[in-house]
Amino acid sequence: MAGRARWRGVGAVVAVLLLGASCSAPGGPDSATRAVEELLQRRAEAVLGRDEAAYAATGEPEAEFGHLAQVPLGSWEYRLTRLDRTRTGATATAALDYRIAGHDRAPVTVQRTLDLSRRDGRWYVADERPGPDAGEQLWEQGEVTAVRGERSLVLGVGQGEARLRRYADLADRAVPAVQGAWGRGWPGRVVVLVPDSTRDMADLLGASASAYQGIAAVTTGEAGAAGQAPADRVIVNPESYDLLGAFGKQVVLTHETTHVATRAHTSDATPLWLSEGFADWVGYRGTGRTPEQAAPGLREEVRAGRPPQGLPDDEAFGFAGDSGRLARAYESGWLACRMIAERYGEHALVEFYRAVGAHPRRAGAVAGALRDVLGLTEAAFTREWRDYVRTELR
């Protein structure tokens, strides 16, 4: 976050010296700060009120106003956090809070950088872009098409409405599947973003495209958030997702929707083998998929005499690493959750997940939940899982 500086009680001589490059923050005495805050307020009101003329009067880029036409906005507000003056204008750092109507219970906050110019005594936006280390917003990539499902909202760029409708149908089937496994203690709605390419997906996430090659979808959101936290976003990589068959597409969206549902009970204490394994368990639940079919990478290791000795650590789930290792990590987590559901019951699996996420820190979280929910030590659980893997994949 950008730092704040306040100029208090400076004399006229110092003020002149600082005119070339100064910094002010909201709440200070700088009249420029107040003027820019008013500019951003007018800009926000224009977006929310769908007033194109009023938006154009605040500056550029006008094209993005049209890109937002189909997005059902419930709120849109800028909060100025820093203003850096130059001889010809200024650069504003702001937090943009926006909410999608019918889906977000609280605003999503993204960091924005706005270049400002001053003409005839008035401030204008010369350019608006993501803040440092922030990802793009979908509307910055082109005109957004919105398709509403019964339980979903799909927003896409470069996609036809018929294609987006198929995504909505898959998401609509995913929601009740997740409710059947996890329960109904979540809103039961999902927002799906479909950019035009892998590169565009990576730009939404503020990452490089190489990190998401072969990744069909990801879910963004605030781990451990509850109550008034905003809805997550499921972001699809169309180049990888469209290579999947109908079965795979449904499993992926059900998996990602599980992350949306479990977000409030997923914390820094939750290992990735559990969060990803549980999401896969929900995705495959009721499909009849066997371990041989769903865990081919791990099966090869078992049959080659190299069965896993322990559950994968978080590093094994890195997208940029060995794809085979990544696949085996997901398969290992899935089999662990499948074993708990089969031997201790689906309710016990859900309670175990919640108990791990409720722990204040990573250390001791799994061990405590195993003891309290399943009556096992961590060593006994690991032995049982290793035997289960060998039995199911031999």
Sign of CA dihedral 284, 287, 289, 294: negative
**Residue after which a domain boundary falls, among 266, 286, 311:** 266
Same domain (yes/no): 273, 288: yes
- 23 and 116 in a single domain? The answer is yes
HEC-encoded secondary structure of the chain: CCCCCCCCCCCHHHHHHCCCCEEECCCCCCHHHHHHHHHHHHHHHHHHCCCHHHHHCCECCCHHHHHCCCCCEEEEEEEEEEEEECCCEEEEEEEEEEEECCCCCCCEEEEEEEEEEEECCEEEEEEEEECCCCCCCHHHHCCEEEEECCCEEEEEECCCHHHHHHHHHHHHHHHHHHHHHHCCCCCCCEEEEECCCHHHHHHHHCCCHHHHCCCCEEEECCCCCCCCCCCCEEEECHHHHCCCCHHHHHHHHHHHHHHHHHHHHCCCCCCHHHHHHHHHHHHHCCCCCCHHHHCHHHHHHHHCCCCCCCCCCHHHHCCCCCHHHHHHHHHHHHHHHHHHHHHHCHHHHHHHHHHHHHCCCCCCHHHHHHHHHHCCCHHHHHHHHHHHHHHHHC
Q: Return the C-alpha torsion angle 156, 73, 135, 269, nearest 10.
A: -100
For 215, list phi and psi in degrees, rounded to 5: -90, 120
Looking at residue 127, its pLDDT comes to 96
Are residues 223 and 289 located together in one domain of the fold?
Answer: no
Note the pLDDT of residue 222.
Answer: 66
Residues 286, 393 within the same domain: yes
Q: Are residues 271 and 394 in the same domain?
A: yes
Q: Are residues 61 and 167 in the same domain?
A: no
Domain membership of residue 4 (yes or no) is no
Whether residue 217 sits in one domain with residue 149: yes
Q: Residue 299's domain spans which residues?
A: 267-394
How does 131-149 read in b/e, with b if 16+ C-beta sit within 10 Å?
Answer: beeebbbbbbbbebbbbeb
Domain closes at, from 266, 293, 325: 266
127 and 202, same domain (yes or no):
no
Find the CATH number of the domain harbouring 37.
3.10.450.50
Is residue 316 assigned to a domain? yes
**Number of CB atoms found within 10 A of residue 261's CB:** 25
- Which structure tokens are listed for 124? 């204008």
Residue in the block written with tokens 């999947």: 244
Nearest to 88 by CA among 118, 60, 120, 126: 118
Do both 362 and 299 map to the same domain? yes
Residue pair 187/264 in contact by the 8 Å Cβ criterion:
no
Q: Return the number of other C-beta atoms located less than 10 Å from residue 13's C-beta.
A: 8
R_g of the chain computed on alpha carbons: 25
CA 122, CA 252: separation in Å to the nearest integer? 50
Residue 6 lies in a domain: no
pLDDT at 309: 95
Question: 277 and 262 share a domain?
Answer: no
Within-domain flag for 69: yes
In a domain, 1, yes or no: no
Q: What's the rounded Cα separation, in Å, for the pair 357 and 287?
A: 27
Is position 67 within any domain?
yes
- Whether 3 is covered by a domain: the verdict is no
Q: What is the CATH number of the domain that holds 228?
A: 3.30.2010.30
What gap in Å lies between CA 89 and CA 82, rounded to an integer? 14
Domain boundary among 101, 134, 167: 134
Closest CA to 351 of 333, 369, 378: 369
**Residue 105, pLDDT score:** 85
What residues in the chain have per-residue pLDDT under 70?
1-29, 222-231, 321
Q: What angle do CA 270, 276, 278 make, to 5 degrees?
A: 85
| 5 domain-assigned | no
Residues 165 and 69 in one domain: no
> Token pair for residue 67?
């890109």
Q: Answer yes or no: do 240 and 156 share one domain.
A: yes
Into how many domains does the chain fold? 3
pTM value surpassing 0.85: yes
